[in-house]
Amino acid sequence: MQTSNLIYSLLALCSVMTTGCMKYEEAPLVESPAYIRVFNNLPKIGNALYAGQATPFLTMLIDPETDGQGLPNNAGIVGDFLATRQLFSLSYPINAANSDISGSVLSGRGGASASLYPSNFEYPGNAHVLTAPAINGFDLSAWAQIPSGKHRIMFIVRPQNNTPFKNLSALIRGNILIDTTVELAHGEVYTMHVLARDLDEAKYGLYVRKESFVHETFDENKIYAGFVNLSGKQPKAIGAGYGFVYPDRPAIYCTYYMPAVSPNTNSIQLNTLKGFDKTYFTTLRQNMDTAIHFLELPMLPRDSFFLQKVIREYAPERAIIEGGPLNPSGRGVGTLPSFAFHFADAANPTRWITLFSAANPRTFNNYDPVNSGATNFTPNLNLIVNSNNVNNLYSTLNIMEIVYDRVYLMQIQRGFNTVPLN
């Protein structure tokens, strides 16, 4: 009798959970959709020369509505509490809007300090909206559906607190940083960035890129990397919070590291893959370019990622904190196969900056780039996914966006509907 009562109770509970406990309302279908993803790239520099710079904490309004004073108070789409983006983003949401927020909210520059205020690192992020389907074999669930056509878009500078935009004072709601109109074509994928175009003159703008990778042909067993310079005019006071800035016209070279580890001495030798030893790739000649050319990189055989059947190591934390490899032939870039991209100033070829794509993607956004060497690293472009205790390698498409003193990596993954050859 007790058993039957228990079964009845479980069935009743299941019935309640399935019929009377809807967590989210189902979103209405979007007719003739386009797809958007929006980042806040505003830097915050700790220098009195830039005291008038916009605070990098925003509200995005698409198709804004106004009150009796003509000030925005709502919109067809509201992206509130928009903090400066994280250094690494995937093609699907990895962060919720909650109180455990990285220091990008506090410093505008990324990091791992906690905040008590809601913040979103991008739109849609984890907002409950209809997302893009897989297109051209790529997972695009980090892009939101939006009706195609013309849209007015505003970005409002807002305080960092718990108050939703519509409840802010008229004075704050009138603090409009950007007010522009964009035309979105049906079926196209767009990535948008709020940018500082001229820090010295406090000029800002919206960069809109119609992504070409959804129309191009890519080998499923290759890795791809492309670069775009989203820096504005170089600030006069380079030392105003910047340890360095990437050059306006960087010539980019690529090295593919294949560390050889001695099983007896545990010593490491950083070998390079033939054809990828400071090999010239391209020169970026235009800031805010919307066309990205992708470098094709090989995926190594599966055995290259294991040492005695144990997965090799990412770049160690110490190297990332200290800003580079511990020594040229040591464990500074880890023991996994990894990439390095070298930026030579086309105007001053003796000036080089190296970016090591060797870090662990799971922990990378925990590093504070203001007080560490995270600006010299990105996550490893070799995507390793563990499923049912089996490590598989997936090909990725990587867009590296230079913004003054750092490179933001946006990694686009293929759909996980098939097991890769690796």
Q: How much is the average pLDDT of 14-41?
A: 71
Q: What whole-number distance in Å separates Cα of residue 150 and Cα of residue 297?
A: 38
Q: Would the pLDDT of 6 be above 70?
A: no
Please name every residue paired with 301 in a beta bridge, in sequence order, or none if there are none: none
In contact, 356 and 376? CB cutoff 8 Å: yes
In contact, 60 and 92? CB cutoff 8 Å: no
Q: From residue 292, how far is each of 221, 233, 343 by CA, in Å?
A: 20, 20, 17
Where is average pLDDT lowest: 49-53, 140-144, 147-151? 49-53
Q: Name residue, tokens 């097991």.
A: 419
Q: From residue 345, how far is each of 232, 284, 338 by CA, in Å?
A: 16, 10, 23
pLDDT of residue 415: 74
In contact, 45 and 242? CB cutoff 8 Å: yes
User: Can the peptide bond before residue 328 be classed as cis, meaning omega within 30 degrees of 0?
Assistant: no
Report the share of the chain in percent with pLDDT over 90.
Answer: 59
Q: What whole-number distance in Å separates Cα of residue 315 and Cα of residue 329?
A: 13
pLDDT of residue 327: 58
Of 96 and 85, which is predicted with more confidence? 85
281-339: per-residue pLDDT in tens? 999 999 999 999 999 999 999 999 998 888 999 999 989 988 777 655 556 899 999 99
In contact, 148 and 185? CB cutoff 8 Å: yes
Amino acid occupying residue 40:
N
pLDDT of residue 25: 61
pLDDT of residue 105: 38
pLDDT of residue 416: 62
Q: What whole-number distance in Å separates Cα of residue 397 and Cα of residue 378?
A: 14
pLDDT band at 20 (very low <50, low <70, confident <90, very high): very low
pLDDT band at 96 (very low <50, low <70, confident <90, very high): very low
pLDDT of residue 284: 96
Question: Which among 335, 331, 334, 373 is positioned nearest to 355, based on CA atoms?
Answer: 373
Model-level pTM? 0.87
Distance of CA 418 to the CA centre of its chain: 25
Report the share of the chain in percent with pLDDT over 70.
Answer: 80
**Residue 342: other Cβ atoms inside 10 A:** 18
In contact, 206 and 218? CB cutoff 8 Å: no
Torsion of CA 260, 262, 267, 271, to 10 degrees: -20
Q: What whole-number distance in Å separates Cα of residue 314 and Cα of residue 306?
A: 12
Q: Name residue, tokens 């799971």.
A: 362
276-293: per-residue pLDDT in tens? 999 999 999 999 999 999
In contact, 73 and 67? CB cutoff 8 Å: yes
